[in-house]
Amino acid sequence: MSEGRVKISVRDLHKSFGRKVVLDGLNLDMNARESLVVIGGSGSGKSVLIKCILGILTPDSGSIKIDGEETVGISRAARERVLKKFGMLFQGSALFDSMPVWENVAFGLIAGRGMDRKEAKKIALEKLAAVGLPPEVGELSPAELSGGMQKRVALARAIAVQPEVIFFDEPTTGLDPIMADIIDGLIVTCVKRLGATALSITHDMVSTRKIADRVAMIYEGKIIWDGPVAKIDNSGNAYVDQFIHGKEDGPIKMAVRS
C-alpha cells in the first residue's frame, strides 16, 4: 500500500431525507495513510457522509470507490467483505452494554472473523493496554466506565481488527479538554502504528489541528475547501475563516431547524 494512492474516492454524492438535502453532489478523495479531517457545522452532513461510505445509509446517487472498487449498490456479501477493511469510533462510543469491555474490544475478531474467544481476549487486552487501560478494566461493564474511558475502549475496539481505514465520528465530543487531548494523542499514535488511513469528522478545531494531515470543510452538502492543515489559517475562504474562528458574523447562516 503506497502513500499518496487514492484509498477512497467519492464523486457527485447525493443524499436527501424527504425534502431535506444533506449531501448535494459531494466530491472527496482520501489518500492512503493520510489523516483527513472533515469539518463542518452541526447538521452539515458529516456523519451522513461517513455512513454512506460504510453502507449504513444508501446514497440517492453518486459513486463511492474504495481501493478502486465501486461500492454503491454492491451485494450484501460484497459489502461485508469491504467492511473488513474498516474500523470506526462512534460519537457516543456505541459500546455493547450486554457484554464486558474485553468482549466489546474482541467483538470484531470473534463475531466478524470467527476467532477463538481465548485468543481474541488476549488480543483485546493488548489493545486495551495500547490505549492506556489496565487488564482489570476488561472485566467491567461499559456502564461502569467514565466517558473518557469509554472512548478509549471504543478506540481499542476500532483498532483491534487491524483495519486499513479508521473513521472517527466526533471523537472528542463531550470530553474535558485534557481527556480530549489524550484521546487525540491516542488516535495519532494508533493510526501511525497501524499505518492506516484515517477519516475524522469533528467541529473541534483543537482536535483538528492535532490529528489532521489534510482538512476538508463541508457546507450545504458540498466540500467547499480542501487543503493541508498548515494552510487552514490562510485558506482565503470566508466560510472556513468564520468556522475556525467560531464567529457569528459571516457567510455561514446556522439553520435553527434540521
| Closer CB to another protein, 97 or 136, in the complex | 97
Is there a contact between 131 and 153 (Cβ–Cβ < 8 Å)?
yes
| Closer CB to another protein, 73 or 228, in the complex | 73
| Closer CB to another protein, 41 or 108, in the complex | 108
| Closer CB to another protein, 143 or 178, in the complex | 143
| Closer CB to another protein, 102 or 107, in the complex | 107
| Closer CB to another protein, 115 or 229, in the complex | 115
CB of 54 to another protein, least distance (A): 6
CB of 71 to another protein, least distance (A): 14
| Closer CB to another protein, 55 or 221, in the complex | 55
CB of 244 to another protein, least distance (A): 28
Residue 112: which region, alpha, beta or left (left: phi > 0; alpha: psi -120 to 50)? Answer: alpha
Residues engaged in binding another protein (CB under 8 A): 51, 54-56, 76, 80, 83-84, 86-88, 90-92, 94-98, 107-108, 111-114, 157, 161, 167
CB of 226 to another protein, least distance (A): 25
CB of 7 to another protein, least distance (A): 17
CB of 236 to another protein, least distance (A): 36
CB of 105 to another protein, least distance (A): 10
Distances in whole angstroms, Cα of residue 193 to Cα of each of 65, 163, 231, 240: 25, 11, 26, 31
CA atoms within 13 A on the CB side of 72: 18
DSSP the chain: --TTSEEEEEEEEEEEETTEEEEEEEEEEEETT-EEEEE--TTSSHHHHHHHHHTSS--SEEEEEETTEE-TT--HHHHHHHHTTEEEE-TT----TTS-HHHHHHHIIIIIT---HHHHHHHHHHHHHHTT--GGGGGS-GGGS-HHHHHHHHHHHHHHT--SEEEEESTTTTS-HHHHHHHHHHHHHHHHHHT-EEEEEES-HHHHHHH-SEEEEEETTEEEEEEEGGGGGG---HHHHHHHHT-SSSS----S--
